[in-house]
Amino acid sequence: MDLITQDDVLAALKQYFRCKNFKLLNWELKSLNDEARLGYLGDHFLIESTVQRQGPPEQVSFFVKTFPKKKVHQDLIEAAGFFKKEVLFYQQLADQLIAILAKLQPTADGCKMPIIPRCYLAKDKFLIMENLVKLGFQPVSSDTPFSLEYFYVTVRSIARYHAASIVLEHQQGVPLSRKYPDLIYESFLNGDPDHYLAPWHAASTRAALALVPLLERYKDKPDVVKKTQEALPSLVRELMERVTAWPDTVNVFGHGDLWSNNILFLMDCNGKPSHVSLNFLSVSVKHINLVRRTLRGRS
């Protein structure tokens, strides 16, 4: 049984056009997994379709993320709830945030540029999204540090995203973490010793402890090595505590995996970045935390 059916494509097109007055002439699901791996916690595809409305046939392209086929990835995602949170985000919150963001960001070429990509169909095992590349967005090399121009437009978009979450919480009249408990929780940096990833965190800590004396800068500094190794476990525990929501503090939606591969840029007529769209199909996207955490990511 195919994961994506023609009925799914029709449902996505209905949301895309906001009407039923079209005819699907043909469609094709193209894998992106062999060309360039976009992530290890999902498989990625394009839907290329030809649609007839009142005028000549037109091409409509969607980006698709599906539940991964590899068993080792499936076990991790099921236990930690990664894919479930992504689906719930687009089913319950994304449209509300997009509506708020439309009032917080300027127009470009006569239309609103999405900080959050639109999702046209969200099901348990897949998401059908707008194809931002067709809108002119493009990534930058992960090997190249951001220039000040790229950094500025990225931080500006993050600020708008944070502001939108504050506005949404004000509109709801209740903390979002309380209203959406199945969606807003820390699924990756979780300090619970019974959490699925607890052995992974323990192994990572042991690996870091073993690497400290191998670092060139510490080779002839045994006292520094000892001090660092003694402090590291408590620092890891503190990190687990600090990524959660803080009481009596303004918390915002965090991204959790903000680095260059999860940021797409739209260029202006002078070839400079003007708008940013953030990839929200990431490991720990949906949680509540302090404003400063997102900006301490890998961006």
pLDDT tens per residue across span 53-83 = 988 999 999 999 998 888 878 888 887 788 8
At 283 the pLDDT is: 39
Mean confidence (pLDDT) of the chain: 83
Model pLDDT for residues 27-61, shown as the tens digit of each residue:
999 998 765 555 667 889 999 999 999 889 999 99
Strand partners, 31: 45
Are the C-beta atoms of 292 and 155 separated by less than 8 Å? no
In this structure, of 41-45, 108-112, 119-123, 146-150, the range with the lowest mean pLDDT score is 108-112
SS3 74: helix
Identify the top-confidence range among 220-229, 233-242, 261-270. Answer: 220-229
With tokens 């007055």, the residue in question is 21
Model pLDDT for residues 177-220, shown as the tens digit of each residue:
888 888 877 777 778 888 888 898 899 999 999 999 999 998 88
- Tell me which amino acid residue 243 is: V
CA distance to 158, 189, 202, 288, 290, per residue, from 237 (Å) = 27, 10, 10, 18, 17
Structure tokens at 32: 């992106």
In this structure, of 9-13, 123-127, 159-163, 207-211, the range with the lowest mean pLDDT score is 159-163
